[in-house]
A and B are shown apart, each in its own frame.
Chain A
C-alpha cells in the first residue's frame, strides 16, 4: 500500500530535483497532447526545445526573449520571498516601456551621449512609480496587492494603447498606432555583429547577480528572507515590514521598468501596442521554477525563453496554435507545485499483509 508521510526534515534533494522533475513531466504531458491533436510528438518536442538552440540566429533570439523574463523574475523572486504577492510585473514593464519611449521621443533629434542613460532611467522610474501605487494602497489601506497589481496591469496596457493612438503616435506613420522610430542615439547597442542580442541581456544577468547578492550577503536580504519564512519572527526581531515592502516592490518595479524600456529601445526600436507577449506573467513561473532564487531564475528564464522561441517555430513549421505555449507554461507550473509537495512529504510503501 502506498501512503503519504510527512518528512521529518524537508528533502534538500527534492528542492533541487523538483523543477527538473516538473519539466520532464511537462514534456511527457506535451508528447501525449501533441499525439492527441495528430502531430508527431517527437517532431513537436524537437521544434519546441531543440530547434530554438539549433542555429546562432535562434540562439540570439532566445537571449533577446530571456532578457525581459529574467529582469522581471529577479524582482518577483525578491517580492515573493518577502510575501509581497506582486502580480504586476507586466504592468510595470509596460509602464517602463511607455515612460522610456516618451523620453526617447523627446531625444529624437538629440546627439547627447546622456540621451540613452536618461531614457533608461525614465523607464526604470516609470516602472517604480507603477509599483509604488499598489504598494502605497496596501501599506496605507491594507488593500489586496494581488488584485491591485493585476488591475494596474490593465491600466498600463490601456494607457499604452491610448498613447500610441494619441500623443505618442508617429505623425508621419499613416495613422498606424505606433510611435516614430527612435533615434540611434537612444537605441541599446547590440553585443554581436548581425545579431539582435543587445545590452538588455547583460542588464538581466547583472540583475540576477545583484539579486543573489542582496539575498545572501546583505542584512536587508536576510530580513526579506525572514519576512517570507516567518512573519511573527520578523516582527519579534523588530524588522520594519514597511521598509522591506517598499524596497522589494520598488526593486521589482525598477527591474520590470528596465525590461520594458530595454525592449522598446532594443529589438523593437519604437513603441507599439504589443511589445510584450506576457513576459511579466511568464516571469511569475520563471521565479518559481528558479526556486525564488535569483541565480536559479537565470536558468529558468533561459528555459522559458526556449519555450517562447519553440512556440513561434512550432506555429510556423507545424501549424500548432500559439495557445499551446500558454498551456505548456500552465502545465509546467502545475507540475512544479505538485512536485514541491514532495519536498516536505514522501511516499512510503508498506506491506499490508503484515498488519
Chain B
C-alpha cells in the first residue's frame, strides 16, 4: 500500500440516506487512500449496500459530500461513476450469456473509450496476463463457471482503468482455490494504486486481505479497525455488539440407522443451462448432518428439486425413505411421510410475501391444523406466536406479512416452521446465506438441536466454513457428480476444495464404467 500520497482517493463525509421507514445511512464518513483494500462489514440491513450504491451513483444521498481525489463530486449516475474511474462488481452478475466475453465488455464502453483501447480482445489478453485473470475474450459467457464470470466482471472494470473497485460479497460464489486467486488479483491491483472496497460476511477473509475495515450497524459507523491486528471473533463482536463467542465449535456425532437413501440417480437437466445429475449415490442416517459442498450451479438445485418432489419426474427406485420407495410420490405426499425442506429462496418460495406469518405457517404445516378440510385458524395463530417467540423472530406479530421481515428473521421463521414438524429428514439449502451473524448462530443451534433429537439432515451450502462447523459427514458436488462421503474430522478444507473443483470425477467415471 502506498501511503506517501496524502490525497485520499475517496472521502465520504456525513452521507445520510433516508428510505421510507428506515434510515439506511446515518452520517457515514469513510476515507480510502490509493491502493487501500478496505472492508465494509456489517449485519444484513446495516446499510452497506446503500452506501456502495451511493458511491456508484445508483442511489443519491439525502445529505453529505463525496470527495474524489480531493475534489467534491456529484455522482448522479453509474456512468458518471465509471467516467471518474469507479467500477463495481455486483453480487449478481450482469452478463449476457449468449454473447462472448469481449462483446459483453464492449457493451459497457463508450465510443471514445473504445477508440482509445483500439483492439479490445488484445487488451483483454494483455490485462489478463498482467493480473493473472485468465480470461479468454472469445469464449461465450454461458460456457464460463461462476468464478470465471466474476473475473469477466472484474476485467470489465480493469479495461476502463478503474481507480476504485467495489466488490459486493465477491467470495460467496467461489471455491477456496478461486478465492485465493481472487485475493492475488486484488493484491496486485492494490500495489498498482487501485483502491478496493470489499463487502463480505466472511471475517477470516477480511483479516487475510484487507488493510482497514469499517463496521456498520443500523446505518451508522460503529467502529473501524486494522483487520490484521484482530481475529474473526473480535471483528464479529464489533459487528453484532454483544455476541456469544463465534468459534464455539460443535461436537460431531455419528448417525445411527439409515433413514434416507439415494441410489443410482441420473437425470438430464430440464433447463438448457442446468446441470444433469450423474449417478448420485448417498445415504443419510438418523442423528447426523450430511453436508454437501459445491459451487453454485453444479447440480445442487436439481438435486434439491428431485428429492423434494418439486421436479415431478418419476424416479421411483432412486429415492428411499425408511423402507419405502418415494421417487414416484408428489411433493405433498413426501412431506406427509416426514420430509421437510428449507429452500434457498426464502421470499417467494419458502414463504408467500403478502401473506401473514400465520398463513405461512399453514403453508407447509397443516398436520393437526386442518379438521375435515377446515382450517383451525385460532390454533395456528397461537402456534405461530409460539414459533416467533421460540426462534426470536423480529416482527410485529403473527399477522405481519412475510415480506415485512428481514432476510435473517424470515429464515429463522422458516427454519422454525420446518423443524416444528419434527421431520425425519430435513433438506436444507444455504440456510445462512446473506444472514447476519446473530441469526446464523441461532439457525446453527436449531439445526444441531434437531440432529440431536434424531433427525437426519442434508445440508447443502456454499459456505465451506459453515459445513465444517456443522456437518458430521461431508461430500462435494461438481458438474452433477457427487464425491465420496467422508467424516468431517477425517478431511480438511483442501480436500473438499479439490472435490468442489472436480478432482474426484475421473475416478468416479472409471468406477461407474468398471
Contact A233 B309 (CB under 8 A): no
The answer to whether residues A219 and B373 also contact, given A10-B354, A229-B352 and a CB cut-off of 8 A, is yes
The answer to whether residues A238 and B332 also contact, given A217-B374, A222-B359 and a CB cut-off of 8 A, is yes
| Interface majority SS (helix, strand, loop, mixed), chain A | helix
Contact A226 B363 (CB under 8 A): yes
Chain A nearest Cβ from B82, distance in angstroms: 24
Contact B332 A233 (CB under 8 A): no
- Does B218 sit within 8 A of A, measured CB to CB? no
Q: Count of A residues near B, CB < 8 Å?
A: 22
Q: Which of A209-229 contact B (CB under 8 A)?
A: 217-220, 222, 225-226, 229
B364 CB contacts on chain A under 8 angstroms: 236-238
Chain B nearest Cβ from A229, distance in angstroms: 5
Bound CA–CA A237/B308 (angstroms): 10
- Does A319 sit within 8 A of B, measured CB to CB? no
Find A219's partner among B333, B348, B375, B401 (CB 8 Å cutoff).
B375
Q: Which of B410-451 contact A (CB under 8 A)?
A: none
Contact B345 A232 (CB under 8 A): yes
Chain A nearest Cβ from B328, distance in angstroms: 14
A229 CB contacts on chain B under 8 angstroms: 352-355
Bound CA–CA A238/B330 (angstroms): 7
Q: Which of A227-253 contact B (CB under 8 A)?
A: 229-230, 232-233, 235-240
- Does A351 sit within 8 A of B, measured CB to CB? no
Interface centre among B308, B310, B349, B366 (most CB of A within 10 A): B349
B332 CB contacts on chain A under 8 angstroms: 237-240
A237 CB contacts on chain B under 8 angstroms: 331-332, 335, 363-364
Contact with A along B358-374 (1 / 0, CB 8 A): 01001110100010011
Q: How large is the interface on B (under 10, 10 to 19, 20 to 34, 35 or more residues)?
A: 20 to 34
Bound CA–CA A236/B348 (angstroms): 10
Contact A230 B353 (CB under 8 A): yes
The answer to whether residues A230 and B334 also contact, given A219-B370, A236-B343 and a CB cut-off of 8 A, is no
The answer to whether residues A219 and B350 also contact, given A8-B21, A236-B310, A237-B364 and a CB cut-off of 8 A, is no
Chain A nearest Cβ from B420, distance in angstroms: 15
Bound CA–CA A219/B352 (angstroms): 16
B98 CB contacts on chain A under 8 angstroms: none
- Does B404 sit within 8 A of A, measured CB to CB? yes
Bound CA–CA A314/B21 (angstroms): 51
Chain B nearest Cβ from A219, distance in angstroms: 4
Chain A nearest Cβ from B446, distance in angstroms: 19
Contact A218 B348 (CB under 8 A): no
Find B350's partner among A9, A225, A226, A236 (CB 8 Å cutoff).
A236
- Does A35 sit within 8 A of B, measured CB to CB? no
Q: Can you show 21 pairs from A to B with CB atoms below 8 A apart?
A: A5-B20, A218-B374, A218-B375, A219-B375, A222-B359, A226-B352, A229-B355, A230-B348, A230-B353, A230-B355, A232-B348, A233-B348, A233-B352, A233-B363, A235-B331, A236-B349, A237-B332, A237-B335, A238-B330, A238-B332, A238-B364
> Which residues of A does B touch, CB under 8 Å?
5, 7-10, 217-220, 222, 225-226, 229-230, 232-233, 235-240
> Which residues of B does A touch, CB under 8 Å?
19-21, 308-310, 330-335, 341, 343, 345, 348-355, 359, 362-364, 366, 370, 373-375, 401, 404
